[in-house]
Each structure stands twice: as C-alpha cells, then as structure tokens.
Structure 1
Amino acid sequence: MLTIHSDDHRLHHGAGEFYRGRIVPCFEMPARVEQILASVAGRGLGPVVAPVRHGRAPVERVHAADYVDFLASAWDEWCALGEIGDALPYAWPAHDLRADRVPDHIDGKLGFYSIDAAVPITAGTWAAVQASADCALTGAAAVLGGERAAFALCRPPGHHAGPRAMGGFCYLNNAAIAAQAMRDAGVVKVAVLDVDYHHGNGTQAIFYDRADVFFASLHGDPAVEYPFFAGFADETGSGAGQGCTLNLPLPWGTAAGAYLAALDTGCAAIAAFGAQALVVSLGVDTFAGDPISHFKLESADFTRIGARVAALGLPTLFVMEGGYAVGDIGTNVANVLEGFVHG
C-alpha cells in the first residue's frame, strides 16, 4: 500500500491549546507521524512517497475562499501586532452575536473562523496544512489511477474543519477535499467512513445537503463528548442529501463487540448507497489508552476494522485523523492497514 507523507508537517507544532480551563501542551504533535512512519516501514506495507503540490483550487472546492485567505494570512496578521507565541482564538460569534461580518482585527478573525481554542496558528501552520491536503489529494489520485488503496499520512488532521471554520486540531478537511477530488474526476458516488472517536462535524457539514457523497460516522455520543453540537443519530442529511448521512453515536466505554457491530451497520449502508470509491477518516483514538477519549478498543481490534473495510471491495483512501496515545499510535494504524491488505 502506498503511503503519502510530507516532512512539512513538522512546521506546525503548537505550544499549547486551551483544554478544560487551562493551557496544556498540544495533544496533536509531530511525534504522532514519526511513530506511524516507523510502524509502516517496519511492517513492510509499501513505499512512502512525497505529495504532489495541487494548489488552492481543489481546496476551495470544499472550503470558502475567504476562509482559505484567512489561513494563509493569519500568522502575518498576528505578528503585525507584535505578539509572541501562537495565535489562539478567545471570542466567538455564538448565539445572539452577529456572524454575518468578518472582523477586521486578527483576534476577531481567529474567533470568526474557528469553533474552539484547540487550533493554534504558528509560523509554519499554513505550509503544513497545505502539505497535509496535498497528501490527501495525491492519495486520491493514486486510487483513481488504479491503486487498490493508499494511505495519506495527513498532519494536521482535518475532519473537524468545516467549509469556513477550523477546530479540533483541524484546519483543512483533507478527507472532504479528497472525496470532492474523486467526484470531480468522474466517480459518481463516493462514501466517507469516519472511524475517529470524535464526530467528523466538518465533513458532515460539507456534504450534508448532497446526494453524491455518503457520510457515515462512528463516534462518542455528542451528548457527553466533543464536538457536542453535531453527530446525533437524527442528523441524516437535508434536501437532496436526506438519507445520505448516517451517525452512529456510541456510549463511553464502548468495546470491540459493540463497535464492530456499528461498523458493520455503517459498511452495509455504504454498500446500499452504491459507493464506487471510499475515503476512510482514520482516527485510532478509539484505543483504550487514548488520553482524551473513552472507548475501549485494543490494538488487535484495529486489524479487524481494516478487514471489515476491505470487505466492501472498494478503491479506498485512508486519511489520517486522530489518535493521541503516541506510544501506541503506530501499531494501531499499521494494524488497520495490514488488516485491510490481508482482509
């Protein structure tokens, strides 16, 4: 299996994020990728290649141009204030505040274009997120070109990024960008299967009213889990997209039996949709040892996830999302990929 990776991911290394009332070291860190690369190489899963640059055009197929402009200019605007350290938002246009005007000041822009304070912007963030999207697009091109599967080792991750907002460590929605690229290349029906512990609210928002991309997500129940305000079972799509979103929220403490049963439900729905290609938002923060999650999957269970995805028989692009037990992330990701290859 081809793996696409860019060293530019290291350019984004936030000093901290706001979590439960305090600034803490970022859970999403460069060491995650290094562990995954080591495991992919150690298993002999296939070659690792650098991404091809694709520019802004495919990104703006799913993200608003003004939002992409913001990401490209935010660090320079922050530095113009004479600030030191990362840029983080602290005010948001919630409830009765106006959300129809983009502020002129960078502090206002940071809040306008975000859903939380887990998205530090650093000197290298824009370069890193562009490279991350390029990994996904290069992987999509490989699959469209005849590869059975490819693995886009994206960092930063992407599934919380919506059409016009960053959040949850995510800036550009790599999985959605790849799915849209598949559609633009002529694939009539594409499915996105999100197996990250946290709901892919950004991916859902991008495709919610569309009938050509099916979105299925297994995740912690948003009644008690981030992102809290999306991912409930009654969210099934709107307009032309009615019935093309499937949310399978699961309670804290979910272990392999219940999780794999839900995965089978999601896979059956993707098959019924008639998908011709599949993008998997691959988060392994469902692992029992993950520091910010509450499921109980063990490392061996990830092999079974890969095998179940393989059973769909679709050209498949895996796009890296979450997983914050850094010491185990390489094993868990490699298990999914190996389970797919041998499934």
Structure 2
Amino acid sequence: MKVVFSEAQRRHDPTFFLSSGAQRPNPEVPRRCDILLEAALGLGLAQVAPPDTGLAPVAAVHTPDYIHFLRRIYERWQHIEGASAEVIPNIHPDRREGAYPASAVGQAGYHMADTACPISAETYEAALASAHTAFHAAQLVLGGERAAYALCRPPGHHAFADLAGGFCYFNNSGIAAQALRARHERVAILDVDLHHGNGTQGLFYGRRDVYTVSIHADPIRFYPFFWGHADERGEGEGLGYNLNLPLARKTGDQGFLAALDRALEHIAAFTPGALVVALGLDAFEGDPFGGLSVTTPGFAAIAGRIAGLGLPMVIVQEGGYVCDELGANLASFLKRFAI
C-alpha cells in the first residue's frame, strides 16, 4: 500500500482558534504530518507525491464562488485597515439563500461556518495540495491498488460545497468518493472520526449514488452541534442514503465496535463498488479532544472489521491531534492494510 503525501500541506500553519469563546492554540498543526508520515513509512508503505491536477477534482464537489473565495480572500483581507493577520469571520448570516455579499468581511461570514478554520497566506495552496492527495489516492485504487492511504492535512470532512469549518477547507473524502464514481456506480463513505462529518453529509445528502455513514460523538452537546443526529437520513432521491450513529462520550472500544458492525451491515446492503474511510484518530482516549475513549488496539479492531468488507478502499486522514500515541494509533489501523 502507498501513502500519498504532498509537502505543500505543511505550509498551512494556523496560530489559534476560538473554543468556547476562548482563544487557544490551533491543534491542527504541521507536526501532525511528521508523526503520521513517520508511522506510515515505519510500516513499509511507499511514499508518493500527488501530481498537480488543477481545480477539476475540487470543482467536482465545491462551488465556483467558494473556490474563488478561498483562492483570493487572504489577499483581499490584507486591504482592510486593522484586519486580523488571518481571515477569521466576525459575522454569520442567519440565512444563505439571499444576496451574495460583495465585501470580504461578508463573504468570510458566508463561507466560513466557525472560527476554527482561519485562512492565512498559505492556506489555499495547502488545502489544494490536500485535495490532490485524496484525489491521487483514489486514482491509485482505480488503477488496481486494493487500498491507498491519503495523508491529508488540513483535513476535510467539515467542509460543505461552499462552506469551510472545523479546520477543513476542501472536502477530501468527498473528492475521493466523487473520483471513484468514475468507475463505480455506487460508492460508500464511512466516517469514523470523533466529530460528525457534516460537510461530507451535506455534499451527498440529496444523492443516492454515494452512501454516507458516520460514527461520532453525539452532537447534542458536541461539535458540530447542528448536524449528525440519528434522524438525518437524507432528502429527495437521497432519502435513506445517509446513516448517522451518534455515541455517548467515553463510549470505548466495545460500544464503538457495536456501532461499526451496524454501519458495515448497512454498507454491505448498499453493495458499493468501493469505499472511502474518513479516518479520524481523535476518537482515541488520549487525544486532546478526549472524545470516545477508543484504545490503540481498538483501532486495529476497527480496521479488521472494515477490511472484512473486501472492498477497494481509499483511507483519507481526517482528525487526530498531537499526542504521544498518535503515530501508534495510525500504525495500529493501517497495519491491517499494509501487507
């Protein structure tokens, strides 16, 4: 198995984010790349760099207005007197179906769901490289690889078609799934991150060709709060093609695996031709976000059950933040596929 990684992803280095109203150091830091890449290479995975495939893979799931915004907003922000060093929204609309604002401040509010996705001079290029990473991993699988690991950073599963959020700018898992659709009539996305993949759900909520499944901490008191509830099943043609399995905090390995068994039964019933795994390692008991108390051996058990589907697979890195066991957690998961 190959690990796809672009050095350009290191260039995004946000300084802070707001959490519960307090300014805190941003945990989505370049060091994550070092730890995760070392763990992947330690398993014997071959490292490959993704080619620059331009905007086409991104434009397949994101709107032109949004792509243009991400590409130009930092430069425009610098012309505002007294503006912050990074683009941080200070206004959010209560509706988004009305007029599209012309100002940089208004567009930041329109296209940024929260204050956890600051945009600096290097963010757009790093996010685009992350998208290329996911797209190339999908191309490897389409070319005959049974599995490929996309070491994507910044992550992507909170990004909607025209909305950044939660450290995410381009939806890498969605980009990979859309790429796999070139050959497969049906593709499933299984998100095992601590947080609900609300952006991924949003991308495919009205579609029946991509089945989205997420196991995550119950959002009733946890980010992203407004999405990820069990009654969200899709809409229109997509009704019945979205499955959310929210779990109580500190659920642990057995509760997570029980939810995973249910998720895999539903995915098998969908009979997809390929699978995207949105791999969040922040469900770990020692992760800074503290969520679901999964252990390092638990990640191996999760991987083993997913592998049992026998599907071609793109593993896309989502969350998982700097802690002593971050590399060991990735190795525990990938070891099942590294042969």
TM-score by length of 2: 0.97
Aligned to 1:130: 128
AA in 2 matched with 1:299: T
Aligned to 1:70: 69
Aligned to 1:187: 184
- Structure 2 residue 179 is the aligned partner of structure 1 residue 170: no
Is the contact between residue 303 and residue 340 of structure 1 (CA under 8 Å) also seen in structure 2? Answer: no
Aligned to 1:49: 48
Aligned to 2:255: 258
- Quote the sequence identity (%): 46
Note the alpha carbon deviations across 1:114-152, whole angstroms, 9 max, x for none.
Answer: 111001101100100000000000000000000000000
Is the contact between residue 155 and residue 168 of structure 2 (CA under 8 Å) also seen in structure 1? Answer: yes
Cα separation, 1, equivalents of 2:233 and 2:330: 29
Cα separation, 2, equivalents of 1:255 and 1:236: 25
SS of 1:263's partner is helix
Q: How much does 1:292 deviate?
A: 1.6
Q: How much does 1:98 deviate?
A: 6.0
Q: How much does 1:341 deviate?
A: 4.0
SS of 2:56's partner is coil
Cα separation, 2, equivalents of 1:336 and 1:281: 12
Q: Which aligned pairs between 1:169-318 and structure 2 lie closer than 5 A?
A: 169-183=167-181, 185-318=182-315
Cα separation, 1, equivalents of 2:79 and 2:195: 35
The verdict on how the C-alpha distance between 1:85 and 1:241 changes in structure 2, with shifts beyond 3 A counting, is: same
SS of 1:179's partner is helix
Aligned to 1:11: 11
Aligned to 2:146: 148
Aligned to 2:92: 92
AA in 2 matched with 1:103: P
Q: How much does 1:38 deviate?
A: 1.0
Cα separation, 1, equivalents of 2:213 and 2:191: 6
AA in 1 matched with 2:32: R
Q: Which moved more, 1:324-333 or 1:133-142?
A: 324-333
TM-score by length of 1: 0.96
Is the contact between residue 196 and residue 215 of structure 2 (CA under 8 Å) also seen in structure 1? Answer: yes
AA in 1 matched with 2:292: F
Is the contact between residue 96 and residue 110 of structure 2 (CA under 8 Å) also seen in structure 1? Answer: no
Cα separation, 1, equivalents of 2:96 and 2:53: 35
SS of 1:219's partner is strand
CA RMSD of aligned residues (A): 1.2
Paired positions, count: 338
Q: How much does 1:99 deviate?
A: 4.6
- Structure 2 residue 107 is the aligned partner of structure 1 residue 109: yes
- Structure 2 residue 323 is the aligned partner of structure 1 residue 326: yes
Note the alpha carbon deviations across 1:216-253, whole angstroms, 9 max, x for none.
Answer: 10000010110000111111111111111110000011
AA in 2 matched with 1:70: F
Is the contact between residue 196 and residue 218 of structure 1 (CA under 8 Å) also seen in structure 2? Answer: yes
- Structure 2 residue 31 is the aligned partner of structure 1 residue 31: yes
Note the alpha carbon deviations across 1:281-309, whole angstroms, 9 max, x for none.
Answer: 00010000112232111111111111111
Q: Which moved more, 1:171-180 or 1:50-59?
A: 50-59
Is the contact between residue 158 and residue 174 of structure 1 (CA under 8 Å) also seen in structure 2? Answer: yes
Cα separation, 2, equivalents of 1:314 and 1:340: 12
Cα separation, 2, equivalents of 1:130 and 1:40: 22
AA in 2 matched with 1:210: R
Q: Which moved more, 1:48-57 or 1:188-197?
A: 48-57
Is the contact between residue 78 and residue 87 of structure 1 (CA under 8 Å) also seen in structure 2? Answer: yes
Is the contact between residue 140 and residue 182 of structure 1 (CA under 8 Å) also seen in structure 2? Answer: yes
Cα separation, 2, equivalents of 1:213 and 1:50: 27
Is the contact between residue 50 and residue 135 of structure 1 (CA under 8 Å) also seen in structure 2? Answer: yes
SS of 1:218's partner is strand
Is the contact between residue 57 and residue 132 of structure 2 (CA under 8 Å) also seen in structure 1? Answer: no
Cα separation, 2, equivalents of 1:92 and 1:171: 17
SS of 1:287's partner is coil
Cα separation, 1, equivalents of 2:332 and 2:200: 25
Is the contact between residue 286 and residue 296 of structure 1 (CA under 8 Å) also seen in structure 2? Answer: yes
